[in-house]
Amino acid sequence: MAELDDLGGRLSVLARVFRGDGPPPRAELERRLQQRRGRRRAITGLGGVAAAVAVVAGAVALTGGTPGETTVRMAAPTGTRGDASVSSPAAAPPGGPIVVDVFTVAERRWELLAVSPAPATVCLFLRTTGREEQRAGCWDEPVRAAEGVAVDVDSFTYVTGVLSKDVISIAFRPDEVQSRIHDVGLPVNLFGAPVRPAVDALTALVTLRNGTQHDVAFTLPAHGRVASVDGEPVRPATTAPTRPTTTAAATTPLPTRPPTRPPTGPADPAPTTTVPPSTGRPQRVEVVPGATNLRKQVFESAVPFGAQSVLVTFWDGIEPCSVLGRVDVAEGGPAVTITIWTGSGPGAENQACIAIAQQKETVVALGAPLGDRVVPDGAR
């Protein structure tokens, strides 16, 4: 088969299509930068709160510090860096993730789990009474450097670190880290709280060089672990956390300090996003006027609802970062095509968005009863 000679010419059709779009005005780019700077200020202002969990390429090590302080020791024992331990699915503890925290909220026992589904990747998520909640945050940067991310959850900071192989140099700047967290498409999330890197932790990681310095310690003003979820204060669970089955962690107890309330006030200026309490049912939502950055969202199901409506269920993020922005209904012949559009809600620009998947449902009114008509998804 011969090559296509005029591929450039054929593709120029596409270029013309997109030229019709016209670039957004420069002011739009500047607004985008401004938003990022706003988030950066929020990071700089972060301080005073921390509970710390260090997950460093299989080594989990926490030691208690002086009162009011927790020392987070990021230990990467020789030979356990990179994908040699929990960074590798094959080497992950049998049965899945490491339990890094256990607490009780509203009579339910919760576990904060860390799992590494791929090298140099750490995901944190919550599980309660044996089932996983749809609340997770992952860090999956390429294996080019030590990776340290601190996330703030209900005013407590979880510090995660992944030490990769072949570390040559590290030059994290807070803004770069911030953009890493926020520019990856789905916003990073962790059960309902803004995700904010802690500058202190990252600064400490900068001292890691070439993979040779494998015992870096830094301190954070700390309190305990999770203090509240969904506004509910937590109390320590009666069952001790499961130990990570890694070499370094096996000798290091997980912290058992009772949780205390973090200080609040101007030192922690970033707005907090909350997750609606889990009811086991999708959250009923309506179109939010003024939503921006709309994009089509595939729906999960569409079933008749009432005399002349359809109940559409779909997955989306947490408000106001992700809201239902528009619903298109095209009724014609034997089909009712419904297109769900989701986007950023008003006020989302001031939020450190989190990437929690949440099931939502909305009632879509029709011009006539659905009857035998099918409901194709306009987003597919």
Partner 1 sequence: MDIESVPFEPWYRAEHPRLLASMAVVVRDVEVAREITAEAFARALERWERVGGMESPDGWTYRVALNLARRRARRATLERRLLLRAAPPPVAVAAPAIEVWEAVTALPPRMRTAVALRYLGGLTEAEVAESMGVAAGTVAATLHEARRRLASLLAPEEVSHG
Footprint of partner 1 (CB under 8 A): 1-5, 7-8, 10-11, 13-15, 17-19, 21-24, 26, 28-30, 32-33, 115, 117-118, 121, 123, 125, 132, 134, 136, 138, 140, 179-180, 183-186, 293-298, 300, 314-315, 355, 357-359, 379-380
Chain centroid to Cα 148, Å, comes to: 15
Q: CA-to-CA distance for 243 and 252, rounded, in angstroms?
A: 9
* Least Å from the CB of residue 331 to partner 1: 19
By the 8 A CB rule, do 100 and 113 touch? yes
Q: CA-to-CA distance for 106 and 277, rounded, in angstroms?
A: 11
Residue 18's Cβ-count burial label (10 Å; 0-12, 13-18, 19+) is exposed
* Least Å from the CB of residue 16 to partner 1: 8
By the 8 A CB rule, do 202 and 150 touch? yes
Residues 6 or more apart in contact with residue 77 via CB below 8 angstroms:
59, 214, 247, 248
* Least Å from the CB of residue 139 to partner 1: 9
* Least Å from the CB of residue 250 to partner 1: 25
User: Which is it for the CA torsion 230, 236, 237, 240, positive or negative?
Assistant: positive
* Least Å from the CB of residue 314 to partner 1: 7
Write the DSSP assignment of 85-116 as a string of letters: STTSGGGSPTTSPEEEEEEEETTEEEEEEEE-
For residues 18 and 94, which CB has a smaller minimum distance to partner 1 in the complex?
18
For residues 5 and 372, which CB has a smaller minimum distance to partner 1 in the complex?
5
In our burial notation (b when 16+ CB lie closer than 10 A, e otherwise), range 74-92 reads bbbbeebbbbbbbbbeeeb
For residues 138 and 227, which CB has a smaller minimum distance to partner 1 in the complex?
138
For residues 262 and 282, which CB has a smaller minimum distance to partner 1 in the complex?
282
For residues 68 and 280, which CB has a smaller minimum distance to partner 1 in the complex?
280
* Least Å from the CB of residue 165 to partner 1: 18
For residues 109 and 180, which CB has a smaller minimum distance to partner 1 in the complex?
180
For residues 160 and 228, which CB has a smaller minimum distance to partner 1 in the complex?
160
| 3-class DSSP assignment, residue 377 | strand
For residues 1 and 168, which CB has a smaller minimum distance to partner 1 in the complex?
1
* Least Å from the CB of residue 297 to partner 1: 7
Q: CA-to-CA distance for 159 and 148, rounded, in angstroms?
A: 7
Side chain identity, residue 310 = V
Half-sphere exposure of 168 (CA within 13 A, CB side): 2
* Least Å from the CB of residue 9 to partner 1: 9
